[in-house]
Amino acid sequence: MKTAAGEWTEEQEAIVQGPYNYLRNVPGKDFRPQLIAAFNSVLRVDEAKIAQLSRVIEMLHTSSLLIDDVEDNAMLRRGYPVAHSTFGIAQTINSANYIYFVALQEALKLSDDQQKIISIYTEELINLHRGQGMDLYWRETLNCPSEDEYLDMVMNKTGGLYRLAVRLLQSISETSVDLIPLANLFGVIYQIQDDYLNLQSSVYSTNKGYCEDLTEGKFSFPVIHAIRYDPNNKELLNILRQKTEDTNLKEYAVNYMKDVSKSFVHCRNTIESYRKLSVDFIEGLKVSHPEVNISHLESILDKMLSIGFRNMPTD
């Protein structure tokens, strides 16, 4: 490969992409390509560009996980040792940052209107880093956010890649349907489920470690609810402060959220409200755009809810 800086070999490329390729080759949920396909059932972009867009989103998602694992001092990702435990922190960060720019190069192939692509891409990556920055700030200062503050953060952090996919799709689609509000709703549903599963799923325990969010000291959605349920009870805050790996302490925290503050019920109720908003939005498309086939959006919402929502306690 000839570049302005000189010759760049495949061997050199493989070295720089090493941490990224390590994680990319570890099987994940493969949910985002299905989500993009569902959005595209409405926006009707040709398959070649959908494949290109899916690659861009996969690159950004995987590289952001590399950074997350460094910032969270994680040990496992998808049941395997994290990339930086194998390649080192410095090389992993460089690889993740490198892929951000490779992904931008790939995104620019989607359209001749490159300024629009650059604008969308940079706006949503800024949003993603803003969300991550607030998440890290709360954790490192032991400053418990309100639920509204947390959901705003989720809109930036988790919703960022969802919105990026939809906005890029809309920029190259000839169909004038705005799916950004639905992408935002899906982002919140996905994140609250993920927060719940981190504390309750045996699969998550195997893939990431038992109640990893507590070990990280993370203010996840159920943790925030439990802390604010009784502001005079400082036990959960003290457990978070320790960033403990003590199973007994983590079990105590989980039981408090389950039996005392009913925070897992609150997770279900909150997701239910976002589910209803999503259903209303999808149903509204039938009225405003009767030519649109909404069945794929209904299916992807149902699939998303099957990840954790249906197993959450109701009382």
Looking at residue 139, its pLDDT comes to 97
Residue-wise pLDDT tens digits, 155-195 = 999 999 999 999 999 999 999 999 999 999 999 999 999 99
Which pLDDT band holds residue 3 (cuts at 50, 70, 90)?
A: confident
Which pLDDT band holds residue 5 (cuts at 50, 70, 90)?
A: confident
Report the amino acid identity of residue 190: Y
Task: Name the nearest CA neighbour of 220 among 249, 191, 241.
Answer: 191
Task: Name the nearest CA neighbour of 8 among 106, 93, 109, 16.
Answer: 16
Residue-wise pLDDT tens digits, 80-110 = 999 999 999 999 999 999 999 999 999 999 9
Domains of the chain by residue range: 30-310
| pTM, full prediction | 0.93
Superfamily (CATH H level) for 30-310? Farnesyl Diphosphate Synthase (1.10.600.10)
